[in-house]
Structure 1
Amino acid sequence: MGIFGSGLEIKKPDQVAVMRRAGVIVGETLELLRASVRAGMTTADLDTIAEAHIRSRGAVPNFKGYHGFPATICTSVNDEVVHGIPGDRVIAEGDLVSIDCGCVLDGWHSDAAITVAVGEVPESRRELLRVCEESLWRGIAAARLGGRVGDIGHGVESYVRSQPGGETYGIVEDFVGHGIGSAMHMPPNVPNFGPRGRGPRLVKGLVLAVEPMITEGTIETTTLEDDWTVVTDDGGWAAHFEHTFTLTDAGAWVLTALDGGRARLAELGVPYGGPAEG
């Protein structure tokens, strides 16, 4: 591990390999939660499932206790954008439930998020989820060794705006992606908007968490009295997707995708940069 440029942590291959192991645990946890979430359960029920799985795999939840956060996952429902605290809220038919999850394994962190539609959801909101998730992959696909961090945000924003009705979506600016490694949040910030060609260079060993947050309207948000839960000011609903990824000489490697991102990257014409797995 070394420090590159403006305090960026550059990992050695064996350190990235541990981050991949942590990423698989997070990916497994999110898929377990996707399969588990249903109307009638509470967000605390999801948190219990997540913590049990992470610990069963030999890792530790990295959200729990982070600046006092009391839970293993963040559960943000409907107009809650990020950082919702699991509790006694009962999930209802038609809800959008964003689940943000992370763990630390042997000192190395991973972080990812999904948003799940519960039961019957209007097509416009399913489209919100589709656009948000696809914009995440378009951001990753825009990353190349020697490029700039700003290329990722440009990829996210360009995709969102290119979609039917894309100009009406809000791309949240107050909360962005980040570097990750020996700490959960590290430089550089990874915005989901802006021009390409700006920001730090994308180099081998730099690991980033990309996490677009897209709303039905405004980008303006407020943090509730619990000091964590962030909601849209206009009551519009939101979606949030996230992956942790890195770049190798071969291409992109999505550390929190169970297949390393191979399938989605291939669809986008992006070389897969991870080892043969499975």
Structure 2
Amino acid sequence: MFRKAEPAVQLKTAAEIAKMREAGTVVARTLDRLRAAVEPGMSTLDLDAIAERSIRDAGAVPSFKGYYGFTGSICASVNEEVVHGIPRDSKVLRDGDIISIDCGAILDGWHGDSAVTLAVGELRSEDARLMEVCEEAMWQGIAELRPGKRLGDIGAAIDGYIRSQGRFSNVQEYGGHGIGTEMHMDPHVLNYGKRGKGQQLVEGMCLAIEPMANAGARHVMELDDGWTVVTRDGERSSHFEHSVAITADGPLVLTAREENRERIAALGFPDPGR
């Protein structure tokens, strides 16, 4: 019997991980600026301009712009849009919307990639719960990023948490990925799986962990623009993502924002500020 070879994975030194943290900090600061800027009446293209200026002012380059022809510096996905929403002048935010913003930056050849879902104006209680479930599923997945664990442990943690929260569903068509000198690298990181299965995690791996949770059914489809992914039933979706390095001391969150510090400390992860 032949065993399928595991994909070669780029392993980073401590110095290279420090470089990735610098790129991740550019992304984190940009997302903080976008959080402060989001309000009813803005277009998603307005937000894209803020993001591009923030990234370039830091001496970095937007990862997404021009990627397979993508026109934005961010993915801006509103309400039932799950991921890969194209920033548009015609897409104007309204009070009560939620928006997933996915942002990437390249600094000195290293990538950072992170996403948040934000409220536009007044946040509905059902949307707040959806966002909480998705973000916590991300943290549950990140907690598995330790040497000796396996890819299946990450997916099992994410899927198990979302399933435990009742009516929410876990999008399975998209997942996380390796990251480093390219934005998307091996291995692909499923948001579902079986514990103890899949490629073994080792020190020096860097992975982007990004669950997508729907308020309704998990099924999604891609629109005719070739990018935007939406829920089939029109229910809202949430998306969160962090880039994380696997270290001997535990998961080091490379795209950590200031608001994440308390959660990171509570989980016992290494302090990304050091």
Task: Tell me which interval the TM-score lies in, with the shorter structure as reference length.
Answer: over 0.9
> Structure 2: which 5+ residue stretches go unaligned?
none
1:153 matched to 2:152? The reply is no
Residues 1-278 of structure 1: pairs in structure 2 closer than 5 A: 6-88=7-89, 89-163=91-165, 165=166, 168-258=167-257, 262-268=261-267, 270-272=268-270, 274=272, 277=274
What is the one-letter code of the residue matched to 1:245? V
Question: In the comparison of the two structures, how many residue pairs are matched?
Answer: 269
Aligned 8 A contact 2:176 2:190 in 1: yes
Q: Deviations over 1:36-84 (max 9, x none)?
A: 0000010000000000000000000010000000010000000000000
SS of 1:113's partner is strand
SS of 1:116's partner is strand
- State the distance in 2 between where 1:191 and 1:26 align: 23
Shift of 1:161: 2.1
- State the distance in 2 between where 1:34 and 1:120 align: 14
* Length-normalised TM-score, structure 2: 0.94
Aligned 8 A contact 1:261 1:272 in 2: no
Shift of 1:21: 0.1
Inter-CA distance 30–190: structure 2 relative to 1 (3 Å threshold)? same
Aligned 8 A contact 2:84 2:229 in 1: yes
The CA RMSD over aligned residues, in Å, is 1.6
- State the distance in 2 between where 1:251 and 1:103 align: 24
- State the distance in 1 between where 2:261 and 2:270 align: 6
> Structure 1: which 5+ residue stretches go unaligned?
none
Provide the identity percentage. 51
Shift of 1:249: 1.4
- State the distance in 1 between where 2:109 and 2:98 align: 33
SS of 2:30's partner is helix
- State the distance in 2 between where 1:86 and 1:258 align: 23
Inter-CA distance 271–70: structure 2 relative to 1 (3 Å threshold)? closer
Shift of 1:258: 3.0
What is the one-letter code of the residue matched to 2:30? T
Q: Deviations over 1:207-260 (max 9, x none)?
A: 000000000112211111110001111101000000000121122100000359
SS of 2:116's partner is strand
Between 30-39 and 12-21, the greater mean CA deviation after superposition: 12-21
Aligned 8 A contact 1:253 1:261 in 2: no
